[in-house]
Amino acid sequence: MAFKIYPTYSDANYYTRDSYNSGILSGSTQTSKYVAYCNQFLYGLTAYLDTIGTSTYTCNVGGTVVASGGTATTSSQTISVYVVTNTSTTTTAALSTATYGPYVPGGSVSPAQAGLANVFPLNTNTGTGQLGGVYVPQGAEVYFQSGTDATAKITATLDFIPAPLAPFVA
C-alpha cells in the first residue's frame, strides 16, 4: 500500500533553527558561501572576533558601522552578509543582491575584545508574512565577506529556519 507524508507546521523540521558556520575568515576580503537548500528565513549573524585587526571603525552600540555619530572607535574587522537570488521567471538569469552590514564584531568598545561574540539581527522588523527574519528562496547564495583588515581573524555563524512547508529532504 502506498502512503504519503504530508508535512505540517508541527513538523520539527519547520521550527528547529539551524546554522551555517563560515570557518575562520583570515585577512582582507575573505569570503564563505552557503547555498539555501530550501526556502528559508535568515534571522541573525553571530560574529566572533578571534584576532583583533589594526583597522579602526566608528560604530554604534549595536556594532554596525556608521559614517558619523558613532559611539566608539575600535580596532577590529568588519563582516557583511550578501544574499544573491535569481529573480527571473524566464530562462535568462536576473540576479538580485541584498546586503546586510557591515557589522563590527568584538563589541562597540575601544579597543575591541578578542573572544567576544556579537549577535546581529538581519531583520529587526516583522519581516515577510509577520514571521520575522529575511526570506531567502531555495538556491539563493548567501555570502559572508570580511572587511579589508589584513590581520584580523573572525568567524561567523548564520542562524536560519526553513520556511513553513518548504519542500526539502530531511
pLDDT tens figures, 99-124: 888 888 876 555 667 777 888 888 75
Domains plus CATH for the chain? Answer: 16-162 (2.60.120)
Paired residues of 38 in beta bridges: none
Q: What is the pLDDT of residue 1?
A: 47
Residues 6+ apart with CB under 8 A from 41: 127, 128, 131, 132, 133, 134, 135, 136, 160, 161, 163
Global confidence as pTM = 0.78
How many helices (H) and strands (E) are present in the chain, helices listed first? Answer: 0, 11
Residues 6+ apart with CB under 8 A from 141: 33, 34, 35, 36, 83, 84, 85
Our CA angle for 93, 20, 56, nearest 5°, is 90
Whether 65 has a pLDDT exceeding 70, the answer reads no
* Cis geometry, peptide bond prior to residue 102 (ω within 30 degrees of 0): yes
Q: How far is CA 34 from CA 3, 91, 111, 144, 154, in A?
A: 34, 23, 31, 9, 17
The predicted-structure confidence for 137-155, as pLDDT tens digits, reads as follows 999 999 999 888 888 888 9
The three three-digit cell numbers of residue 28, written as one number: 582582507
